[in-house]
Amino acid sequence: MVEPPAPSSDASRGAPPVGETERRRPRNQEDGGGFWRSLLLTVAVALGIRQFLVEARYIPSGSMLPGLQLQDRLLVEKLSYRQRAPRRGEIVVFHAPHAFDPALRSDYQAGPGRCFLVNLPFLGSLPGMQEPACDAFIKRVIAVAGDRVSVDPGGHVTLNGRPLAEPYVRNWCRPQGPGSCRSLDATVPAGSVLVLGDNRANSWDGRFWPGTHFVPNGQIIGRAFFRFFPFSSVGSLVTADPAATPGAAGLPTPAQRP
């Protein structure tokens, strides 16, 4: 009768069987790969939310004073305008006129890939990354497609033959002289809106762009709907259609428009 072989000295000391070490290495490598996959997935989800659902923006200029102060932080949602057109009174974020004004676009051109990188957090502030065509502006929708709108040198708006009440405007242009602003008299074309800054005396908006007065709806990034900083000013940015107030009776509301 043949005796079974005696256990080796390694086995007697509790050493792992041959091949167990080799099986453990891939598991450690898999853990490392899992970390990077999770990180990439988290980044992809965050970028997807920012690109298609909602993103945070800050106010870089005084064109919307006094309602929006410099460095205010806002949330901009991107779903509403996939279902409907912008409405009067809404505060919108849109691509800079360098991206759609024919008089500016020829001098400032940037592909979507460049603009995507420029608008990533931290990257856009790096030297050499700035690109005017990739900037974003924030203004208020004053008139929508089909509206007949005129703006006098003082910045006051007449919409479809009636003066527009704008309680959010505090800083008007001077009616004449060095502080006067450019006037405007036009009908808003289909698929476009007229936007103006609340700080009527200090806003580069549709009154001043050299090649067009209007923003195509497709150039609008989203609707600013909530201010989350500073904490003393947290709250909704949703405002009623200024043309639908009792003092502007007879003007069609967005719900009545096709």
Q: Find the length of the chain.
A: 258
pLDDT category, 178, cuts 50, 70, 90?
confident
User: Which amino acid would we find at residue 208?
Assistant: F
Which residue is associated with the tokens 């502080």?
A: 179
pLDDT category, 18, cuts 50, 70, 90?
very low
Decide: 235 and 228 in contact? Cβ < 8 Å.
Answer: no
Rounded to an integer, what distance in angstroms lies between the CA atom of residue 207 and that of residue 64? 15
The answer, yes or no, to whether residue 22 has pLDDT greater than 50, is no
Decide: 207 and 154 in contact? Cβ < 8 Å.
Answer: no
Decide: 140 and 169 in contact? Cβ < 8 Å.
Answer: no
Decide: 224 and 92 in contact? Cβ < 8 Å.
Answer: yes
Q: What is the pLDDT of residue 21?
A: 47
Mean pLDDT over 96-116 rounds to: 76
Q: What is the pLDDT of residue 251?
A: 44
pLDDT category, 162, cuts 50, 70, 90?
very high
Mean pLDDT over 220-246 rounds to: 91
Mean pLDDT over 193-213 rounds to: 96
Q: What is the rounded average pLDDT for all residues in the chain?
A: 81
The answer, yes or no, to whether residue 151 has pLDDT greater than 50, is yes
Rounded to an integer, what distance in angstroms lies between the CA atom of residue 91 and that of residue 105? 24
Q: Pick the catalytic residue from 38, 61, 63, 78.
A: 63
Decide: 224 and 76 in contact? Cβ < 8 Å.
Answer: yes
- Residue 163's beta-bridge partner residues? 158
Is 63 a known active-site residue? yes
Q: Pick the catalytic residue from 12, 125, 139, 180.
A: 139
Task: Give the 3-state secondary structure of residue 226.
Answer: strand
Q: What is the pLDDT of residue 177?
A: 74
Q: What is the pLDDT of residue 51?
A: 65
Q: Return the minimum-mean-pLDDT range out of 15-29, 79-93, 162-176.
A: 15-29
**In the sheet that 148-151 helps form, which strands lie side by side, from edge to edge?**
162-163, 157-159, 148-151, 184-187
Rounded to an integer, what distance in angstroms lies between the CA atom of residue 80 and that of residue 77? 7
Q: What is the pTM for the complete model shown?
A: 0.75
Q: Which two tokens stand for residue 114?
A: 């460049």
Q: Return the minimum-mean-pLDDT range out of 33-37, 65-69, 248-252.
A: 248-252
Q: What is the pLDDT of residue 186?
A: 97
With vertex at residue 21, the alpha carbon angle to CA 19 and CA 25, rounded to the nearest 5 degrees, is 120
